Structure 1
């Protein structure tokens, strides 16, 4: 419950930043009133066994002082109304008062806070809490502003850990300070800078390529720089013994080659068929050619022009593994392809 409550309070603070304005007084007194929510979970309270003290809503007032751009302090008073559970239902009045120190990050709308609070529960007990939190400030005008903040409270006398939040409306009586009026110095005479019409860093008098796109890097003459980019894809398809039909498991790999060829119109592919050294060499030569052609036909079915495909069979001439084992023979029954493409592309600025 405490986590959900704290998350809600933080979200409220974050939403207030959408129109946050950092123009504000950097010193002076401010006064405010606030709505307060406090999520407690005090079960079997020490002074009344079986009594549970739950959450509270209330209101309060505060007075603060902004010392400078980064630091401020305040004193607060809150009138609280706790819900009760356990052996008793209903509500219980309470008061909270204490002090906070605030640090305004970079002098902007976000701030962190640390403080010390005294909590008096009517007819039950009291407890001292240390609190740590964060908030955001939104100015409607130079002097009128809203604070939204959340804090964690840690009991020092009883070990309760609570969360709370508040939204306050404040009015500042301070000011950002005034500076003495100083007569403006006469504008210095500046020599006319050389023109660079296309903003590429090369002046017009030396620019041989006018109106170069802003996204392009340029050379000393103001012309677009190019680099050669290489892209490549490889294919390996294995086959059963004495068979030129490949398994469906390789369709995605073949499709990757087809996709590469469609994206790189200047690239062609050489499909190399191979066989193991088992059996007749002439027969293995023909088998390797059929394997290469079957893969090529699959590429054509996937939309690749047959003029961009070359097949070759090497039979058992290029064994991947020369050993006379079942594993080696399985490695040698294969089709391989390696496709690469080199393109000139612009160098980005």
Structure 2
């Protein structure tokens, strides 16, 4: 009846325990327990005619949780056996033992195996195997209930025992794993971060300027365009020296040539029709060379500059006036190049 009562109490405790607060990870624990031991030792040798029956008592244990699955413990139980046969009454006994416990992953249940020494009239050794259950009220306090079968090693006794205890855990804990349902796969959302009309998944050029037209990969479109700069330098009568007032215009041509490294320039020198034609031819060449020197002074390589003199062959104004002659005394050039420019978004 005593064993049945304890078994019912153990079952009630398990049924009432919804879930552990925390399953422990590692550390030391200490506990006390109530103990029931069902024995049928008939005709004990050291007390002829005496049978040793059930025991109730209390005990204490100290254990260590090594990891998520294994722990070990030492226990002591103070036992009070009932006697029958030639003698009646009871007798005290002591039980010392060691157990290894295997904790099932993230479960309050565990299995155990161990060795026990029970001293009643004689010192008897038992091997035991059993199962138990733990319930944590918080990170430190827990109760346990377990049952085990004891098999005598030096005598052929087969006994049953049960324990109900309360314990304090000194170690660390980990939250019980909760299995969350897998989230439903989300549908990809088409996004165009730089608002260029090409979705991010296909966009190879992020953050293109809003002013740029783009191709199918989201990259800025470019086109080749012709660009040019003109130069006109005028000279006084019978002179080939470049006046200061034209230095800025020549510097502008030099900057264009530096920006467009493949471009070259042909400087065309001219003269008015006043005087000898052969002299005017030489004078026009000198004027072209004077402008070329100024370009070289501005950093343009000589091999990018060509000069030619036309003398009075290409008059801008054929009139025989002072104004017409001033227009004809000149060096002029047009430099053209192509450059890669962005296409503007419409």
| TM, length-normalised to structure 2 | 0.48
Structure showing greater Rg: 2
